[in-house]
Structure formats: structure tokens, C-alpha cells
Amino acid sequence: MISCQSITIHRSFIGNVRHLVRTFMTQGFPNSSVSSLNEEQIKGKYDIIIAGGGMVGCTLACALGKNSVLQNMKILLLESSPNKKYDLKKEYSNRVVALNQNTKSLMNSLKVWEHVENMRLQPVRNMQVWDACSDALISFTSSDMMGDDIAYIVENDLLLHAVNTELTSPSVKNVQIVYGAKISGYKLTRETSDCNIVKLDNGDTYLCDLLIGADGANSAVRNAMGVQYLSWSYDQMGVVATLYLAEECENTTAWQRWLPQGPIALLPLDSKRSSLVWSTSIDHAKELLSLPEEQFVDSINDALWKEYPRNSAVERTLRWLQSARALPPSARAALRQSRAAFPLGFGHSTRYVAPAVALVGDAAHRVHPLAGQGVNLGFGDVKDLAQLLSDAVYQGLDITHHSWLEKYESVRQRHNVPTQLAVDLLHRLYTWQQPPVLWLRSVGLQLTHAAEPLKKLIMTQAST
């Protein structure tokens, strides 16, 4: 009788033998594009090169490196910034992300989550979103998530450090990282039997079978693929800062108020501090950055509390649907030098794959931060791509097998595109101030608030 385990060994053995033969062939008999290169500049040949070591690229390197089926793959991660030493400071960083349950489970499987927990994170157990131009609101609690936390607020650099701690641990043996590696060009293969060529600005050159672009919204890998990229700017900037609250509290609620120029959100950090993400017009963002600290804090409190003109038709309808609104905290001060602003835009790459190339994270898709989905979508890409590559090798196929890469594209686009469109629609609904739109969104929000199954459905979509 053949056991499941022997099938596993057999299949991944075939995959790995095929891979060794291919490595030998490309090293022994260089293909046409490789033969034209200066040999001294070729620093190595890898099975997989990941271009970009941000949160998504590093997590992908860690997921591939920890996958037992892929243990014979030589993987290289190239990151342009230097390898910075991380110190957990007393003060919080101004860049944070809200991580959903799906991301937590990925990080748990990679043993990254325990590093995050050993440093710091703040659970979000309640969430309230309300309209400044009407009394409409929607709120969520852990019970809409079957008792799970809604999200976790984690600093970007802390998460990256936690991922890198695992990536550089003895449990990962086949991933090499080069920091300060600014990639200046790619020569992509048109055939999967050929190699991709990755060139750094210092002339160093690397070859690989599979190239993965994790190089962010302005992805040069995506440009080299020559795929269509649908994008637009929201003509908004996201102003961020670390805030001290006027009063200490449990602080496990995420607050978001929709103002005519865009949403202001307070994400909990600890009992005394919250992180600000205020999406607003570019001129207003610049003004907020230049205000003296006291006026900046006053603007935040105004944005959270100020009464805006009301529409009587909306008021009349909402009277029938009224529900209690919790009061948000006020800010007392902003941490010095924590203010910064980032341009906000939408981006969708019509293709996530090309022969022997794949895109992950912001390189493939970019969303408005109003729903805290951006990096969570990227971590979803990581989970699915690592699984599909491992399945391909397990079946005895090459990691560049096109139908498996296409499966990755199809699975991810089916999840990412509807989420991106829903976030974009929300943004539009809340920036249009015409009375019929205001009526529709206020009543729609209030009805959704009352419909428990619909709320659960929204939370399920947002956490996967």
C-alpha cells in the first residue's frame, strides 16, 4: 500500500528533480539573453527573485522559505533601502495598519504573530462609522465577528521587524536578502524555459526562473511586464499623526467620521494614544501639516465634533431609523514630528502574471485607506501564491508553470477587484454631497446598521 506521505515525497521529488535539471541546463548552456551579459556582473542564478522587501515582499519571502515543499528553491529578496536596525521605541510610529483576521492567521502560521504580540498591538473590538452631514451611522462589535477581534492596529515598522525576525531565523535556510539593492532594469523572458534578468544600478546582475514584483504602487516589474494599469488619483492625501487622548480609556474602538472632504479616523494604540488617518483634499492636507500644534489638534477635534448643516428630508427619514451614537474621544496633543501626509490613489493591474512573472501587494492593486484593506489584500496574495507555487511543485511541475500562475491571478482578482470597487464606491458616495446621494447613503447606512446578517457579511468580506 502506498501511503500519503510517500506520494508527497514522490511528487515533490519529481518537481525538485525537474528543477535541478533546469538549473543545470541554464547554468551550463546559457540562453540567448543571458549569453549577451558580462559574466563578471552575474552574481547568481535563483529559482525565485522577489523584487521589493516591504511588508508584502518580506512576508512572501518568509512564507516561501518556510514551505517544506519549496525547501530546495533558491530564493533572493532584493530591497533598495538599507538594512536598518529596529528598536522598539516608547513612542508609537505614525505609520500603522489595521490587520484583519486573515492576516493574523497567516502571521500565526509563520510564527510572526508571536513576535508582534511580544512587542505591541492594540485589538479593535468596536468600530463606529458616522456621517458628519446626517445622523446616519453604522457600528460593529466583536459579536459581528463571532467574538473575534475586528482588527489589530500594528505599526508598519514593527510588523516588518517581526517578519524579518522569522525570515532571518534558522527556520528559513533558502532565502538570501540583499539590502541597498536598487533595481534599475529587468529583461523579462518571453518563454518559461528562459531566465529573467534583474539588473541593479551598480551593475550587479541576477538571473531567475520566477520573478515576483513586490515593489509597490509604482512597480517597475509591472512596467516591464507591459500590462495595462488602470489608475487614478483621489486628489486627496492621507494625513497621519500619533495623538494623545484628552482622557485615558480602554480604547479598543476605531472611530471614523465622514466629512465632506473625506473621512477622519482614529485608530486605537493604547489607553492614552490613537493614530490619526485623515483623508482630505491636497490643499487642506498641506495646511494641516503647516499648522502650529495647538491649531492642528483643534482642527482634529473640530473634525470629530463640529455640527454640519443638515438636510431636512434626510433628517425626517432618519427619525424613523434612529440609533444611539457613542461619543468619540477628543485629542489633547499630537506627538511632535509625527505629522506626515501620503498621496492616495486607486490602481488595478489588469494582469497579475506574465510568463515567469507575478505581482503581489500594491504592485498589483492599490486602494483608498478608508477601509483599512490595502496591505491585507497584499497578505492575501502572499497566502494564495505561496500555496499555489507549493501545489505546482508538489504535482511535479515547474514553479513557472503558466496555468498555476494564471490560477493565482484568477483567485486573487476574484477577491481583490470587488473589494477595490466597493472601497472606491464608498469613497465616491461620501464625497458627493448632492441631496439625493446624501439621502441614499444615510438611509442605506442606517438600514445596514439595523440588518445584523448584512453586517456580519460585510465583516466576513473585510476579514478575508
Three-state SS at 338: coil
The reply on whether position 426 binds ligand FAD by CB under 6 A is: no
361 binds ligand FAD (CB under 6 A): yes
Binding mask 68-107 for ligand FAD (x = CB under 6 A): ----------xxxx---------------xx---------
Q: Tell me the closest approach of the beta carbon of residue 461 to ligand FAD, in angstroms.
A: 14
Interface residue with ligand FAD, options 101, 164, 251, 373 (CB under 6 A): 373
Could you tell me if 265 and 254 are in contact, meaning their C-beta atoms sit under 8 angstroms apart? yes
The contact pattern for ligand FAD, residues 201-220, with x = CB under 6 A and - = no contact, is: -------------xxx---x
CA-to-CA distance for 412 and 384, rounded, in angstroms?
8
CA-based nearest residue to 130, from 348, 289, 323, 361: 323
The residue among 207, 185, 176 whose CA lies nearest residue 42 is 207
Closest contact distance (angstroms) between CB of 200 and ligand FAD is 8
CA distance 149 to 152: 7
Measured from the CB of residue 309, what is the shortest distance to ligand FAD in angstroms? 28
Q: Which stretch binds ligand FAD (CB under 6 A): 55-63, 186-194, 320-328, 421-429?
A: 55-63
Pick from 237, 306, 247: which is nearest to 274 by CA? 247
Rg over CA atoms, the chain: 24
Task: Decide: helix, strand or coil at residue 247.
Answer: coil
Task: Decide: 188 and 196 in contact? Cβ < 8 Å.
Answer: yes
Q: Is residue 304 close enough to count as binding ligand FAD by CB under 6 A?
A: no
* Residue 337, amino acid: Q
The CB-of-175 to ligand FAD minimum distance in angstroms stands at 16
For ligand FAD, the closer of residues 50 and 354 by Cβ is 50
277 touching ligand FAD, by CB under 6 A: yes
**Which of 124, 73, 88 lies closest to 103, judged by CA?**
124
- Residue by residue, DSSP assigns 301-315 as HHHHHPPPP--HHHH
The stretch near ligand FAD (CB under 6 A) out of 16-24, 52-60, 139-147, 169-177 is 52-60
**Number of helices and strands (H, E) in the chain?**
14, 20
Nearest to residue 300, comparing CAs of 349, 246, 253?
246
Among 331, 340, 132, CA closest to 249:
331
Asked whether position 62 contacts ligand FAD by CB under 6 A, the answer is no
Q: What single-letter amino acid sits at 265? A: A
Of 44, 342, 387, 407, the one binding ligand FAD (CB under 6 A) is 342
Binding string to ligand FAD for residues 125 to 164, with x set by CB under 6 A, is what?
A: ----------------------------------------
Minimal distance, residue 18 CB to ligand FAD, in Å: 30
Q: Which range of residues in 5-13, 63-71, 118-126, 180-188 is near ligand FAD by CB under 6 A? A: 180-188
Here the cell at position 106 is 497567516
Least Cβ distance, residue 54 to ligand FAD (angstroms)? 2
Which of 34, 55, 154, 445 touches ligand FAD (CB under 6 A)?
55
CB of 223 or CB of 387, closer to ligand FAD: 223
* Alpha helices per DSSP H over 186-311: 220-225, 282-290, 293-305
User: Applying CB under 6 A, which residues contact ligand FAD?
Assistant: 51-57, 78-81, 97-98, 181-183, 214-216, 220, 238, 240, 277, 342, 361-362, 369, 372-376, 378
